[in-house]
Amino acid sequence: MRETLNETAPRRIAVLDPVKLVIDNYPADKEEQCEAPNHPQKPEWGKRALPFSRELWIEREDYRTCRAKVTSVCFPAIRCGCVTVSC
């Protein structure tokens, strides 16, 4: 079933255990539309719009309050990025 879904299902994002992330140096009244692919290996499926603003919700396991050896998480005062999203 996994192989069938991988070939036929568009990708979507869900945050199941949310933590609110506030970007201090981003204007409170600004919102941008970013793009993410509908399928990472099928560019012909197009892209979808995702809102980007000062307040975002991220997965709790993707946030740390102290620096760890893992580099794929966000924590205070450290630059981090979003995979497969472009603004």
pTM: 0.66
- pLDDT computed for residue 44 by the predictor: 96
Give the mean pLDDT per block of 10 residues along the chain (87 residues): 92 91 92 92 94 91 67 57 55
- pLDDT computed for residue 43 by the predictor: 93
| Cβ count within 10 A of residue 21 | 14
What are 40's two structure tokens?
């990472």
State the sign of the Cα–Cα–Cα–Cα dihedral 75, 33, 20, 82.
negative
- pLDDT computed for residue 62 by the predictor: 79
**Rounded to whole angstroms, what are the CA distances from 34 to 4, 15, 22, 52?**
28, 17, 17, 7
